[in-house]
């Protein structure tokens, strides 16, 4: 059984805004197509580069977005420019799998990924009440591994997959996420005291 999102809504965190993919404008859709065509991004993602024309890709992704076990967002930066895509797929009553592509190289290693992931995790654990969010990445993608580790994901299993690459399964249980939130709130409420000497 799935725990589908009723109607996806915009989510914000820090500099990023997650916009349901069905609401992206034409400019953003052209970037989506470029990201999906990019051979390096396809390799990092473990998929073949997309060869579909834009109109068909849009139709496919929009149809996917209507599935009750999936929710897909465009990631917009502080200039409201589309920089990538993030989704939860295979959403069940207690768990879902997270996928993310920041397609703009200019935005890599600048914290946009973790901000987008946190926005979606908040929705996953709060709105959907999931018990665990998992993801798959490759051992030869240290940037992704570092970003996922930063938001609380931990490695649980490695497996050699087709092509000889190593798939890494990472999970983030609900209680770990809630504890991280509690600590963050505590830091906000009790800022470091100035030196009293
Ligand atoms: C993976 C991804 C979501 C991470 O988002 P991000 O915004 O780039 O993440 P961060 O800003 O946290 O940067 C990643 C961290 O990895 C570090 N890093 C980058 N390259 C690294 C490398 N080769 N080895 C080790 N660490 C590396 C960065 O320094 C940064 O750590 P820091 O903040 O402590 O300095 C994003 O880069 C992306 O989408 N890349 C292309 C597609 C992809 O790989 N998707 C994931 C498929 S599973």
Instruction: State yes or no: pLDDT of 89 exceeds 90.
Output: yes
Q: Give pLDDT, residue 4.
A: 58
Residues 81 and 89: their CA atoms lie apart, in Å, by 24
Task: Specify the pLDDT at position 7.
Answer: 77
Query: Separation of 1 CA from ligand 1 center, angstroms?
Result: 33
150 lines ligand 1 (CB under 6 A): yes
Question: H helices of 38-151, where?
Answer: 39-45, 54-65, 112-126, 142-150
Q: Of 113, 109, 110, 82, whose CA–CA distance to 100 is shortest? A: 113
The reported pLDDT for the residue numbered 1 is 45
97-108 confidence digits (pLDDT tens) = 999 999 999 999
Instruction: Using most ligand atoms within 8 A of CB, pick from 147, 150, 153, 165 the residue to mutate for ligand 1.
Output: 147
Ligand 1 center from residue 10 Cα (angstroms) = 24
Q: What angle separates helix 142-150 from helix 112-126, to the nearest 10 degrees?
A: 50
The predicted pLDDT at position 107 comes to 98
CB 144 near ligand 1, within 6 Å? yes
User: Kind of pairing, strands 71-76 and 166-173?
Assistant: unpaired
pLDDT of residue 6: 67
> Which residue segments constitute the domains of the chain, with CATH numbers given?
11-188 (3.40.630.30)
| pLDDT above 60: residue 121 | yes
Mean pLDDT of 148-162: 97
Is it the case that residue 123 has pLDDT exceeding 50? yes
Report the pLDDT averaged over residues 124-133: 95
CA angle 146, 174, 191 (to 5 degrees): 70
Task: Read off the pLDDT of residues 8-59 as tens digits, 9 standing for 90 and up.
Answer: 899 999 999 999 999 999 999 999 999 999 999 999 999 999 999 999 999 9
The first and second tokens of residue 18, run together, are: 């997650």
Kindly state if the Cβ of 8 falls inside 6 Å of ligand 1.
Answer: no
pLDDT(68) > 60? yes
Q: Is the Cβ atom of 103 under 6 angstroms away from ligand 1?
A: no
């Amino acid at each position: 059984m799935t725990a589908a999102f009723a109607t996806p809504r915009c989510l914000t965190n820090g500099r990023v805004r997650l916009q349901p993919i069905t609401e992206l404008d034409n400019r953003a859709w052209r970037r989506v197509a470029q990201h999906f065509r990019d051979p390096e991004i396809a390799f990092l993602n473990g998929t073949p580069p997309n060869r579909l024309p834009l109109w068909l890709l849009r139709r496919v992704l929009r149809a996917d977005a209507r599935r009750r076990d999936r929710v897909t967002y465009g990631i917009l930066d502080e200039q409201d420019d589309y920089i990538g895509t993030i989704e939860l797929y295979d959403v069940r009553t207690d768990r879902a799998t997270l996928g993310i592509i920041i397609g703009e190289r200019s935005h890599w290693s600048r914290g946009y990924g973790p901000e987008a992931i946190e926005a979606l995790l908040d929705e996953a654990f709060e709105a959907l009440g999931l018990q665990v969010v998992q993801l798959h990445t490759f051992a030869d993608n240290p940037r992704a591994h570092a970003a996922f580790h930063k938001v609380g994901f931990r490695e649980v299993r490695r497996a050699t997959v087709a092509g000889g690459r190593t798939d890494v399964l990472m999970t983030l249980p609900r209680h770990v996420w809630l504890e991280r939130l509690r600590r963050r709130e505590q830091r906000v409420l009790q800022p470091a005291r100035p030196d009293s000497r």
